[in-house]
Amino acid sequence: MDAHFERRLLLSMNGMSSVNSSPFKSPIQSPVKASDRYIPLRSSHSATNLHFDTSISPQNGCASSSVTVSPKKRKYEQNQAGHGVGVTGSEPDLAIYRQLLKNTLLNTNVDVLKTSDIQNECVKSIPITTNHPSTTPDENVSLSSLGSSIFKYSKRVENPSPTLTINKTHFSHSPLSSTNLHLLYSPKKTVRRIPKIPYKVLDAPDLQDDFYLNLIDWSQTNVLSVGLGSCVYLCNAQTNNVTLLCDLTQSQIQNSNYMSLHQQHQSDSVTSVSWADRAHLLGVGTHRGHVHIYDVQTQKRVQTISKHSSRVGTLAWNDSTLCSGSRDRSIIEHDIRTSTTVHMFHGHTQEVCGLKWSTDKCILASGGNDNRLLLWSNTHQTNYLQSFNDHLAAVKAIAWSPHQHGLLASGGGTADRHIRFRSSLTCQTLSVCDTGSQVCQLIWSKNSPNELASTHGFSQNQIVVWKYPTMQPLAKLFGHQQRVLYLSMSPDGESIVTGAGDETLRFWNVFAKSKCVRNPDSKLNSLNRMR
């Protein structure tokens, strides 16, 4: 064997190179020395719990433009961090785990976790800082931030003087404090999820795409009335049975002395429907200015009001009286018991498209195409009580809160796009919310005092569930292809139905269920009668 080749082979077997070989170097490399201290690595989202300032980069000490982490990536990091420390990746568990770390390391002593804290963990994102090549550190960071510490510590609190009081914590074998134990054993507060898709969709041919009409209403007996063209249909929401109530194609109007015979037999179309409080009477407004009262049990017309000279776009019941708003700019209150006109309200200068009585039936709110919202008293005063002129478009969406007395919400059209909250007690505007699109309808939740839903037209065609008074959107529902003009609520207050110009009706589960309150005086409660 060649001696030169044999020498190179021995050097390679000993881990030495022929180029950098030296007789003074050991052929066996020494192992890498490691520190005996174990420093655990923490993820970026856990560093915020230790008051870590993420706006300062540890490499260069300067801040820069922030980049938001996507929600999917953030949730993946949270799940990985949760599985690594032995907790689940669900949002309530991670929130509890973070609070346990804060209690142990920072002495926050929080034993109850709020639902808003869990929701904030789902929504907020973590900023990541990166350097921009065209900027200097002096342009982005102040001198105070460059000299600040990464970790912040509070003053040391001396232990209080020992007391002779003995409690159950002295006998506890758990390393956790009583506050952390209370936090762990406290019941989890679940976050309500609102379904994004409707649970039922119905075709509604000839459903008019007109902003000023009101063509659907849901009764207390769970029957939905829909005005389609010249017909009114009744749909039982439980059995899905659909029946035809009336057809105004060849409608004959009785007791119309001033109308000719040709006008009495002229075709008509439906422009508004509204159920009475008795639930078996239905009011139907027409394009020719008539208001028909139908008894749905006998499916017969019991009365006709012919006082308007133009179409009736909105109706509002108050016990045995019915108010109708028309394009002729007038509001007529009619008593169906005596078949007489009780009062006429004159205040709008254009078409009346919204009418709603307050929950105590004392104040009537009316909205019109003149961008005004008027409040009327049921004492039949000549003038209105208050006029709000801050809307910039037609006011059709009107809703009274069933939980707070005197709270009224109103929405404007395309040029306005705002929801405004008023107080009928002080006649002042409480707050304003910009929705970004045309507000078509508003409705308050019956079961939750701080939730309401709104339907919108141009340009988003969506349904939004809001949290009042912060007006944070809880859910945004999409599905309609055109303006969502019509809205009504189920008798149990859990579902809503929406109608649009795309000729469809969609049913959504958006509100919470009603809480069952047990009556202690009920005869079925036998425990209170035991001796």
What pLDDT is stored for residue 197 in this prediction?
A: 95
Confidence of residue 49 (pLDDT cuts 50, 70, 90): very low
- pLDDT at residue 383 tops 80: yes
User: Nearest-CA neighbor of 393 among 457, 313, 453, 345?
Assistant: 457
- pLDDT at residue 143 tops 50: no
Query: Tell me: the pLDDT tens digits for 24-35?
Result: 444 555 555 555
- pLDDT at residue 393 tops 90: yes
- pLDDT at residue 352 tops 50: yes
What pLDDT is stored for residue 216 in this prediction?
A: 97
Better-predicted residue by pLDDT, 238 or 13? 238
User: Residues of the chain with pLDDT > 90: what percent?
Assistant: 52
What pLDDT is stored for residue 373 in this prediction?
A: 96
What pLDDT is stored for residue 52 in this prediction?
A: 41
Q: What average pLDDT does the segment 46-58 reach?
A: 42
Residue type, 80: Q
Beta bridge partners of 143: none
What pLDDT is stored for residue 389 in this prediction?
A: 94
Mean pLDDT, the chain, rounded, equals 78
Q: What average pLDDT does the segment 35-59 reach?
A: 47
Q: What average pLDDT does the segment 443-459 reach?
A: 93
What pLDDT is stored for residue 305 in this prediction?
A: 93
- pLDDT at residue 135 tops 50: no
Residues 220-227: contacts with CB within 8 Å, 24+ apart? Answer: 220/275, 220/277, 220/279, 220/491, 221/279, 221/280, 221/491, 222/490, 222/491, 223/296, 224/488, 224/497, 224/505, 225/273, 225/275, 225/282, 226/273, 226/499, 226/505, 227/270, 227/271, 227/272, 227/273, 227/284
End-to-end CA distance of the chain: 112
The rounded distance, in Å, linking the Cα atoms of 514 and 419 is 26
Better-predicted residue by pLDDT, 453 or 258? 453
Query: Tell me: the pLDDT tens digits for 165-215?
Result: 656 666 667 777 777 777 777 776 677 889 999 999 999 999 999 999 999
Beta bridge partners of 67: 128
Confidence of residue 321 (pLDDT cuts 50, 70, 90): very high
Confidence of residue 42 (pLDDT cuts 50, 70, 90): low
- pLDDT at residue 456 tops 50: yes
Q: How far is CA 165 from CA 180, 181, 387, 425, in A?
A: 21, 20, 66, 55
Spell out the alpha helix ranges (H) of 193-313: 261-264
Confidence of residue 514 (pLDDT cuts 50, 70, 90): confident
Q: What average pLDDT does the segment 160-167 reach?
A: 57
- pLDDT at residue 257 tops 50: no
Burial 150-160 (b: 16+ CB within 10 A, else e): eeeeeeeeeee
- pLDDT at residue 293 tops 70: yes
Q: What average pLDDT does the segment 258-287 reach?
A: 79
Better-predicted residue by pLDDT, 68 or 356? 356
Cis-peptide into 459, omega within 30 deg: yes
Q: How far is CA 32 from CA 24, 29, 37, 61, 236, in A?
A: 20, 9, 15, 30, 80
Confidence of residue 128 (pLDDT cuts 50, 70, 90): very low
Residue 201 host element (H or E): strand 200-203
Confidence of residue 358 (pLDDT cuts 50, 70, 90): very high
What pLDDT is stored for residue 175 in this prediction?
A: 75
What pLDDT is stored for residue 531 in this prediction?
A: 47
Question: CB burial class (10 A; 0-12, 13-18, 19+) of residue 276?
Answer: buried
- pLDDT at residue 48 tops 70: no
| Encoded tokens for 378 | 């049921």
Report DSSP letters for 438-504, one per residue. Answer: -EEEEEE-SS-TTEEEEEE-TTT--EEEEETTTTEEEEEE---SS-EEEEEE-TTSSEEEEEETTSE
Angle CA(196)–CA(200)–CA(206) in degrees, nearest 5?
115
User: Nearest-CA neighbor of 139 among 63, 67, 57?
Assistant: 63
| Encoded tokens for 381 | 């005063």
- Domains of the chain and CATH, by start: 200-252+266-509 (2.130.10.10)
What pLDDT is stored for residue 165 in this prediction?
A: 62
What pLDDT is stored for residue 132 in this prediction?
A: 42
Q: Which residues contact 204 (CB under 8 A, 6 or more apart)?
A: 226, 228, 499, 503, 504, 505
Residue type, 503: E
